[in-house]
Amino acid sequence: MINTSIKDVYKIIFQSYDKPSLGTHIDKIIELDPYLPYNSTFFCITNTQELSFEYVSKNLTACLGLDRETLKSGGMKMFWKRMHPEDLEQWLNALNGLMEYTLSEISEQDRDKMSYTWNYRLKNAKGEYVNIIQNTTPIEFDAANKPIIGLAHYTVVSGEIKMEVCASAKMLNENNEYETKYFSNFSKKMLSEGVSNRERDIIRLLILKYTSKQIAEKLGISHNTVDTHRRNIMKKLKVSSTGELIGMLKTNNYLF
217-221-226 Cα angle (round to 5): 90
pLDDT in tens, 164-180: 899 999 999 999 899 99
Query: Of the candidates 208, 214, 196, 211, which has an alpha carbon nearest to the alpha carbon of residue 255?
Result: 196
Q: Is the pLDDT of residue 144 over 50?
A: yes
pLDDT in tens, 193-225: 678 888 888 887 887 788 999 999 989 999 999
Q: Which SS3 state, helix, strand or coil, does residue 176 take?
A: coil
Q: Is the pTM of this model over 0.75?
A: no
Residue 51 in contact with residue 76, Cβ under 8 Å? yes
Q: How far is CA 64 from CA 6, 40, 43, 172, in A?
A: 24, 9, 12, 31
pLDDT in tens, 5-21: 655 655 554 454 444 44
Q: Which SS3 state, helix, strand or coil, does residue 93 take?
A: helix
Give, as one character, the DSSP assignment of residue 15.
-
Main-chain dihedrals φ then ψ at residue 54, nearest 5 degrees: -70, -30
Give the mean pLDDT of 82-103: 89
The residues, any chain, with a CB within 8 Å of residue 166's CB and separated by 6 or more, are 94, 118, 119, 183, 184, 185, 186, 187
Domains in the chain, CATH or no CATH each = 3-188 (3.30.450.20), 194-251 (1.10.10.10)
Q: What contacts 24+ positions apart, CB below 8 Å, involve 106-113? A: 106/171, 106/181, 108/145, 110/171, 111/138, 111/141, 111/145, 111/146, 111/147, 112/138, 112/141, 113/171, 113/172
